[in-house]
């Protein structure tokens, strides 16, 4: 594996925060870092004059299923130095929380909300952590997790009923959003019989 | 009680605070008392079904009079769970999903997806395929910018550019249809190549389009660029500086309008883009007008790239000649057994990808369009993530619209060139 | 010019009243059926409410633009306000989050009103047999015409709208009481009851596998435990 100046510099700056690094798909450099120190490391990558990863391209997550830890993935790009880096943090299913990077990049705002909505990963310190794609009253959980069936947990009849019971007048202002990000509670679906095989992976 | 100086026709009447005597002379400024209306902020809901939101976008605006104090966008009204669906499909079966995501530039999405999978699998496509895909990418950049141009012109009150732009779009529709059989949902690419080779005369059709299209573009240009109404509606509206634009994650024409020279075609070239001769237009002010200028110039540059690509279009196979990836020809399938079994196996089993991950991005019409794929050795991805350019671009609208009028909010929203299918996915 | 070759023949009726057919002494009324004239007026001045969400909306715009020109059918005014609209064109995918919006727009439209479901996704969910998608808008609102296609061509939409016109032509005023009956309690509720939703959104052939996977009813995940083949 060829050496990478970025990874060497990162290891020198944070000897105990960098877990390992890989090269994927030819030449793409991936660094696994300690999820407890993600904000610190990413801030260094953003501001260090030799790195200057100033464009946060993407924040997403990957669920591999089978109880394996979820990965939070940051895609970084340095406009001045024209180089890319992928930073990953592994989160165990028992503690799906990581520090938000909205203070470093405004772009992280919606991207983290989406990860929260679809994976249920809580971003501590996010100013406005609530569902972004799914309806506010969505109660079936976080869809992109592997234990979530493709058609949802409820029957189509119950999904239709819940959809039409959404409050159309609701609106949100930032100050009303405090205290969001509560753990998900999935109520029972009365109109469908639950059967084994709902969790298909 | 506040006071302000206004110009009123002198002697209009007692209600203006003057006596009712008529007076001669031109308009004279006078001091009038402005009633203290105890300002109350108003919440206005725009969308999700509204012609000016360019899709099912919902904007909750807090207004002080007609000024936007804050705007809270609500998205997800078109969430179609592409990413979840992709985990249940083989790599080739995902291709038809990609063009339903951005129906304004379907070929760009087809190409970007196929290129990401090829990167993950380590497939090098043929020279002819590369040039054909460059033609597809640039043709749909024009296609997408034309829709943006037409609908944005409607938002500033100009209807003619919409009709002109759609006339030209019809011709691209025609080219799509000749190439793939569909007008919008093209599904033109396959892993390792294209659905089929170019039909006879298609390249000449593209050539004819790019020969005559600049004339229409110049006509629209003459209608809008120096138009006082258009300039008044767009100049200094929704301006964002280069640092803020990078901070918000803007990419594509929106970022370049702010003066940041970042174009994936130049910075991370794919398909020999470094050998094409083209310019990347960069704006200065980052306002709606600069975004308009950048997109107009991008269309001209795309025409230049298309000319070069058509000139160098090489002969040769369009698909990689690897039986594990490319399907045998239909004639072979119908005539010999081995090809039939081969075809069946490839369709039913799919193509396996290594247990690695891959991020690949192209310069889409809206910005940096990334595809992040995680394979596990099987024929279906573990995770298929689209880095949505307009999702990130739209998240900046709250910052852009603050302090502008409601009418400008519509213009700012239009100038970001969003497509809800890709924002909500 | 062919016209100038010989003098045009004068119409025989024009000889006694000099100013044309409707001159003095000619009858100025015509007899017709009330049904016919009301339906004729209605079907030639339909105002569509374009509820466009995704790809089909682009084809709907193409249908309204120069080459296809919906205005030829009396539909040149796209009514973006549901209160002045006659035909709801639901073009594109409708996720559950959007379902109450669609229902409210339908409820806001005044009678008489018709609905066109344009495209596969609006009609049946299309390829999106997933957690977030309404499996056919006919579970939410009543639909008159389904236009198949993904997306349908503009000609397809125009044909669907002509079918609406044909439907209007066949209506009778005496039936309007029953045709247009609306239960106030049905406002903001799904059109179909739970059983019908289940039946309508049942899976079909290609939804997750390449073969037919289950019977005609039942759409929840528990019916098909082997959705995901490892």
Where do the structural domains in chain A lie, given as residue ranges? 5-177
Region B318-334: mean pLDDT is 85
Q: What token pair was written down for A83?
A: 């180089």
Interchain contact, C54 vs B173, CB within 8 Å: no
* A192 band by pLDDT with thresholds 50, 70 and 90: very low
Q: How far apart are CA B50 and CA C98, in angstroms?
A: 13
Q: Radius of gyration of chain C from Cα atoms? A: 24
Does any CB of chain C come closer than 8 Å to the CB of residue A186?
no
Looking at the complex, report in whole angstroms how far the Cα of residue A10 sits from the nearest Cα belonging to chain C.
38
Lowest mean pLDDT among A11-20, B5-14, C71-80: B5-14
Contacts with C219 from chain A: Cβ below 8 Å: 151, 155-156
Q: How far apart are CA C131 and CA C96, in angstroms?
A: 9
Q: How far apart are CA B385 and CA B103, in angstroms?
A: 18
Determine the angle formed by the axes of helices B202-224 and B127-155, rounding to 10 degrees: 30
Q: What token pair was written down for B227?
A: 């138009």
Q: How far apart are CA A165 and CA C150, in angstroms?
A: 30
Contact (Cβ atoms closer than 8 angstroms) between residue B401 and residue B414: no
- Measured in degrees and rounded to the nearest 5, phi and psi for residue B312 equal -100, 5
Q: Which residue has the higher pLDDT, B277 or B55?
A: B277
Contact (Cβ atoms closer than 8 angstroms) between residue C118 and residue C160: yes
b/e map of B63-91 (b: 16 or more CB within 10 Å)?
beeeebebbbbbbbbbbbbbbbbbbbbbb
Q: What token pair was written down for C115?
A: 């609905």
Task: Mutation target for A interface from C93, C141, C220, C228: give the one with most A CBs within 10 A.
Answer: C220
Does any CB of chain B come closer than 8 Å to the CB of residue C62?
yes
Chains in contact with B via at least 3 Cβ–Cβ pairs below 8 Å: A, C
A194: pLDDT strictly greater than 60: no
Percent of chain A exceeding pLDDT 70 equals 82
Contacts with A143 from chain C: Cβ below 8 Å: 131-132
Q: Which residue has the higher pLDDT, C181 or C153?
A: C153
Q: At C56, which CATH number? A: 3.40.50.12280
Q: What is the pLDDT of residue B114?
A: 92
Q: How far apart are CA C40 and CA C120, in angstroms?
A: 30
Looking at the complex, report in whole angstroms how far the Cα of residue B49 sits from the nearest Cα belonging to chain C.
7
Interchain contact, C190 vs A164, CB within 8 Å: yes
Contacts with C132 from chain B: Cβ below 8 Å: 79-81
Q: How far apart are CA B242 and CA A100, in angstroms?
A: 23
Percent of chain C exceeding pLDDT 90 equals 10
Interchain contact, B62 vs A24, CB within 8 Å: no
Q: Radius of gyration of chain A from Cα atoms? A: 19
Q: What is the pLDDT of residue B7?
A: 44
Q: What is the pLDDT of residue A169?
A: 67
Instruction: Determine the structural domain holding residue C93 and report its residue range.
Output: 46-180
In a domain, C228, yes or no: no
Measured torsion, CA atoms of residues B238, B239, B242, B243, in degrees rounded to the nearest 10:
-70
Interchain contact, A107 vs B75, CB within 8 Å: no
Q: What is the pLDDT of residue C65?
A: 79
Contact (Cβ atoms closer than 8 angstroms) between residue B92 and residue B353: no
In a domain, C121, yes or no: yes
Interchain contact, A25 vs B358, CB within 8 Å: yes
Contact (Cβ atoms closer than 8 angstroms) between residue A121 and residue A70: yes
Task: Mutation target for B interface from C79, C127, C213, C226: give the one with most B CBs within 10 A.
Answer: C127
Region C148-169: mean pLDDT is 90
Q: How far apart are CA B234 and CA B413, in angstroms?
A: 12
Contacts with C229 from chain A: Cβ below 8 Å: none
Chains in contact with A via at least 3 Cβ–Cβ pairs below 8 Å: B, C
Sheet containing strand C87-91, strands side by side: C48-52, C87-91, C114-118, C145-147
Sequence-distant (6+) residues with CB within 8 A of C27 are none
* B225 band by pLDDT with thresholds 50, 70 and 90: confident
Homologous superfamily (CATH) for B82-321+343-420 = Cytochrome-c3 Hydrogenase, chain B (1.10.645.10)
Looking at the complex, report in whole angstroms how far the Cα of residue B321 sits from the nearest Cα belonging to chain C.
27
Burial class (CB in 10 A: 0-12, 13-18, 19+), A171: middle
Q: What token pair was written down for C61?
A: 């715009």
Q: In chain B, what are the domain boundaries?
A: 3-33, 42-74, 82-321+343-420
Q: Considering only CA atoms, which of B416, B424, B423 is closest in space to residue B52? A: B416
What number of C-beta contacts closer than 8 Å exist between A and C? 103
Burial class (CB in 10 A: 0-12, 13-18, 19+), B253: buried
Region C60-88: mean pLDDT is 84
Fold exhibited by the domain A5-177? Beta Polymerase; domain 2 (3.30.460)
Q: What token pair was written down for A102?
A: 């909205």
DSSP summary character for residue B405 = B
Contacts with B173 from chain C: Cβ below 8 Å: 62
Region A158-174: mean pLDDT is 73
Q: Considering only CA atoms, which of A120, A184, A192, A115 is closest in space to residue A159? A: A192
Q: How far apart are CA A73 and CA A64, in angstroms?
A: 13
Does any CB of chain A come closer than 8 Å to the CB of residue C226?
yes
Q: Are strands A83-91 and B28-33 parallel, antiparallel or unpaired?
A: unpaired
Residue C146 pairs with which residues in a beta bridge? C117
In a domain, C70, yes or no: yes
The end-to-end CA distance of chain A, in Å, is 34
Q: What is the pLDDT of residue A172?
A: 53
pLDDT in tens, A8-63: 888 888 888 888 888 888 888 899 999 888 888 999 999 988 888 999 999 999 99
In a domain, C97, yes or no: yes
Within a 10 A sphere around the Cβ of B161, how many other Cβ atoms? 23
Contact (Cβ atoms closer than 8 angstroms) between residue B249 and residue B392: yes
* C211 band by pLDDT with thresholds 50, 70 and 90: very low
In a domain, C150, yes or no: yes
DSSP string of B36-89, one letter each residue: ------EEEEE-SSBGGGTBS-EEEEEEETTEEEEEEEE--TT---HHHHHTTS
In a domain, C19, yes or no: no
Contacts with A150 from chain C: Cβ below 8 Å: 129-131, 208, 221, 227-228
Nearest to A75 among B43, B387, B425 (CB): B387
Q: What token pair was written down for B182?
A: 């569909």
In a domain, C227, yes or no: no
Q: What token pair was written down for B247?
A: 């901070």
Looking at the complex, report in whole angstroms how far the Cα of residue B186 sits from the nearest Cα belonging to chain C.
10
Looking at the complex, report in whole angstroms how far the Cα of residue C125 sits from the nearest Cα belonging to chain A.
12
Q: Which residue has the higher pLDDT, B233 or B5?
A: B233
Lowest mean pLDDT among B107-121, B258-272, C21-35, C141-155: C21-35
Lowest mean pLDDT among A185-189, B213-217, C154-158, C211-215: C211-215
Q: How far apart are CA C207 and CA B89, in angstroms?
A: 11
Region C19-39: mean pLDDT is 75
Q: Which residue has the higher pLDDT, C230 or A135?
A: A135
Nearest to B43 among A64, A107, A171 (CB): A171
Q: How many domains is chain C partitioned into structurally?
A: 1
Q: How far apart are CA C166 and CA C143, in angstroms?
A: 15
**CA separation, residue A116 to residues A144, A176, B369 (Å):** 10, 18, 22
Q: How far apart are CA A76 and CA A88, in angstroms?
A: 11
Lowest mean pLDDT among A53-67, B54-68, B182-196, C193-207: C193-207
Region B175-195: mean pLDDT is 89
Q: What is the pLDDT of residue C19?
A: 54
The complex scores an ipTM of 0.83
Interchain contact, C219 vs A155, CB within 8 Å: yes
Interchain contact, C190 vs A152, CB within 8 Å: no
In a domain, C21, yes or no: no
Region C92-108: mean pLDDT is 89
Q: How far apart are CA B209 and CA B213, in angstroms?
A: 6
Contact (Cβ atoms closer than 8 angstroms) between residue B401 and residue B67: no
> Taking CA atoms, what residue in A is nearest to C187?
A164
Does any CB of chain C come closer than 8 Å to the CB of residue A196?
yes
Q: How far apart are CA A98 and CA A73, in angstroms?
A: 12
Question: To the nearest whole number, what is the mean pLDDT of chain B?
Answer: 85
Contact (Cβ atoms closer than 8 angstroms) between residue B59 and residue B72: yes
Q: What is the pLDDT of residue B142?
A: 93
Measured torsion, CA atoms of residues A170, A174, A178, A181, in degrees rounded to the nearest 10:
70
Q: What is the pLDDT of residue B129?
A: 92
Q: Are strands A83-91 and A97-99 parallel, antiparallel or unpaired?
A: unpaired
Nearest to B77 among C57, C78, C95 (CB): C95
Task: Mutation target for A interface from B56, B79, B359: give the one with most A CBs within 10 A.
Answer: B359
Nearest to B45 among A111, A135, A171 (CB): A171
Does any CB of chain A come closer than 8 Å to the CB of residue C185?
no
- Measured in degrees and rounded to the nearest 5, phi and psi for residue B194 equal -120, 165
**CA separation, residue B205 to residues B110, B131, B137, B179 (Å):** 21, 16, 16, 11
Q: What is the pLDDT of residue A170?
A: 61
DSSP summary character for residue B198 = P
A92: pLDDT strictly greater than 80: yes
Instruction: Tell me the pTM.
Output: 0.83
Q: How far apart are CA B163 and CA C62, in angstroms?
A: 10
B145: pLDDT strictly greater than 50: yes
The dihedral region occupied by B43, where left means phi > 0, alpha psi between -120 and 50, and beta the remainder, is beta
Q: How far apart are CA A25 and CA B356, in angstroms?
A: 7
Q: What is the pLDDT of residue B136?
A: 92
Nearest to C66 among B76, B77, B163 (CB): B163
Looking at the complex, report in whole angstroms how far the Cα of residue C201 sits from the nearest Cα belonging to chain A.
7
Q: What is the pLDDT of residue B328?
A: 85
**H or E stretch including A23?**
strand A18-24
* C210 band by pLDDT with thresholds 50, 70 and 90: very low
Burial class (CB in 10 A: 0-12, 13-18, 19+), C12: exposed
- Measured in degrees and rounded to the nearest 5, phi and psi for residue C161 equal -70, -30
Question: To the nearest whole number, what is the mean pLDDT of chain A?
Answer: 81
B337: pLDDT strictly greater than 50: yes
DSSP string of C110-179, one letter each residue: PSS-EEEEESHHHHH-TT--STTB-S-GGGTS--SEEE-SSSPPHHHHHHHHHHHHHHHHT--GGGHHHH
Looking at the complex, report in whole angstroms how far the Cα of residue B418 sits from the nearest Cα belonging to chain C.
12
Q: Are strands A28-33 and A55-62 parallel, antiparallel or unpaired?
A: unpaired
Task: Mutation target for A interface from C222, C223, C226: give the one with most A CBs within 10 A.
Answer: C222
């Amino acid at each position: 594996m060829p050496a990478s100046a970025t990874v060497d510099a990162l290891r020198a700056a944070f000897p105990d925060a960098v877990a390992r690094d890989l090269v994927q798909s030819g030449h793409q450099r991936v660094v696994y870092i300690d999820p407890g120190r993600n904000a610190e490391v990413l801030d260094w990558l953003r501001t260090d004059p030799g790195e200057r990863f100033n464009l946060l391209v993407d924040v997403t997550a990957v669920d591999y299923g089978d109880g394996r830890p979820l990965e939070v993935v940051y895609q970084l790009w340095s406009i001045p130095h024209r180089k890319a880096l992928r930073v990953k943090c592994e989160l165990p299913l028992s503690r799906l929380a990581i520090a938000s990077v909205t203070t470093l990049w405004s772009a992280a705002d919606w991207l983290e909300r989406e990860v929260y909505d679809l994976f249920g990963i809580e971003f501590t310190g996010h100013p406005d952590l609530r569902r972004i794609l799914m309806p506010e009253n969505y109660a079936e959980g976080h869809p992109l997790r592997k234990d979530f069936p493709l058609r949802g947990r409820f029957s189509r009849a119950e999904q239709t009923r819940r959809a039409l019971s959404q409050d159309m007048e609701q609106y949100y202002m930032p100050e009303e959003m405090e205290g969001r990000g509560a753990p998900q509670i999935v109520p029972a679906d009365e109109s469908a019989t639950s059967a084994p095989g709902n969790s298909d992976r | 009680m506040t006071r302000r100086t206004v110009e009123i026709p002198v002697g209009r009447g007692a209600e203006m605070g003057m006596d009712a005597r008529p007076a001669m002379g031109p308009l004279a400024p006078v001091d009038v008392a402005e009633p203290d209306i105890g300002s109350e902020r108003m919440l206005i809901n725009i969308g999700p079904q509204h012609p000016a939101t360019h899709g099912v976008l919902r904007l909750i605006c807090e207004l002080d009079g007609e000024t936007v104090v804050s705007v809270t966008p609500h998205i997800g009204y078109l969430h179609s769970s592409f990413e979840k669906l992709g985990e249940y499909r083989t790599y080739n079966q995902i291709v038809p999903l990609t063009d339903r995501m951005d129906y304004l530039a379907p070929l760009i999405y087809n190409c970007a997806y196929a290129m990401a999978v090829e990167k993950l699998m380590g497939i090098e496509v043929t020279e002819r395929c590369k040039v054909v895909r460059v033609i597809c990418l640039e043709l749909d950049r024009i296609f997408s910018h034309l829709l943006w141009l037409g609908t944005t012109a409607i938002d500033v009150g100009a209807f003619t550019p919409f009709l002109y732009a759609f006339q030209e779009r019809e011709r691209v529709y025609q080219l799509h249809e000749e190439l793939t059989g569909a007008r919008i949902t093209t599904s033109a690419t396959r892993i390792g190549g294209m659905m089929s080779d170019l039909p006879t005369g298609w390249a000449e059709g593209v050539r004819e389009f790019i020969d005559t299209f600049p004339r229409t573009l110049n006509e629209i240009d003459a209608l809008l660029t120096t138009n006082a109404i258009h300039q008044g509606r767009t100049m200094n509206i929704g301006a964002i500086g280069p640092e803020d634009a990078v901070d918000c994650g803007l990419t594509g024409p929106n970022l370049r309008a702010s003066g940041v020279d970042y174009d994936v075609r130049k910075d991370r070239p794919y398909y020999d883009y470094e050998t094409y001769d083209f310019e990347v237009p960069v704006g200065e002010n980052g306002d709606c007008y600069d975004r308009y200028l950048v997109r107009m110039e991008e269309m001209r540059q795309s025409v230049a790239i298309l000319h070069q690509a058509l000139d160098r279009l090489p002969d040769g196979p369009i698909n990689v000649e690897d039986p594990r990836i490319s399907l045998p020809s239909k004639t072979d399938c119908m005539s010999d057994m081995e090809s039939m079994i081969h075809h069946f196996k490839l369709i039913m089993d799919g193509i396996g990808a290594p247990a690695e991950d891959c991020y690949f991005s192209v310069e889409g019409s809206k910005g940096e369009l990334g595809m992040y794929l995680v394979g596990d050795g099987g024929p279906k991805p573990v995770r298929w993530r689209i880095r949505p350019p307009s999702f990130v671009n739209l998240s900046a609208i709250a910052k852009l619209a603050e302090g502008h009028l409601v009418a400008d909010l519509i213009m700012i929203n239009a100038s970001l060139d969003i497509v809800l299918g890709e924002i909500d996915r | 010019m062919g016209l100038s070759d010989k003098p045009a023949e004068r119409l025989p009726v024009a000889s006694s009243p000099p100013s044309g057919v409707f001159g003095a002494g000619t009858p100025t009324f015509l007899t017709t059926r009330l049904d016919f004239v009301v339906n004729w007026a209605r079907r030639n001045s339909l105002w569509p409410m374009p509820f466009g969400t995704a790809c089909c909306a682009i084809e709907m715009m193409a249908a309204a633009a120069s080459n296809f020109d919906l205005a030829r059918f009396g539909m040149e005014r796209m009514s973006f306000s549901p209160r002045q609209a006659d035909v709801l064109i639901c073009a594109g995918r409708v996720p559950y989050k959007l379902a109450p919006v669609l229902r409210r727009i339908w409820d806001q439209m005044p009678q008489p009103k018709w609905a066109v479901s344009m495209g596969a996704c609006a009609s049946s969910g299309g390829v999106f047999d997933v957690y977030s998608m309404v499996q056919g808008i006919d579970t939410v609102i009543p639909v008159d015409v389904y236009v198949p296609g993904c997306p349908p061509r503009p000609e397809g939409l125009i044909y669907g709208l002509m079918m609406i016109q044909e439907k209007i032509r066949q209506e009778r005023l005496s039936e309007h009481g029953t045709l247009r009956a609306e239960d106030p309690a049905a406002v903001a509720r799904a059109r179909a009851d739970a059983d019908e939703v289940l039946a309508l959104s049942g899976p079909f052939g290609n939804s997750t596998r390449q073969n037919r996977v289950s019977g005609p009813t039942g759409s929840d995940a528990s019916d098909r435990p082997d959705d995901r083949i490892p």
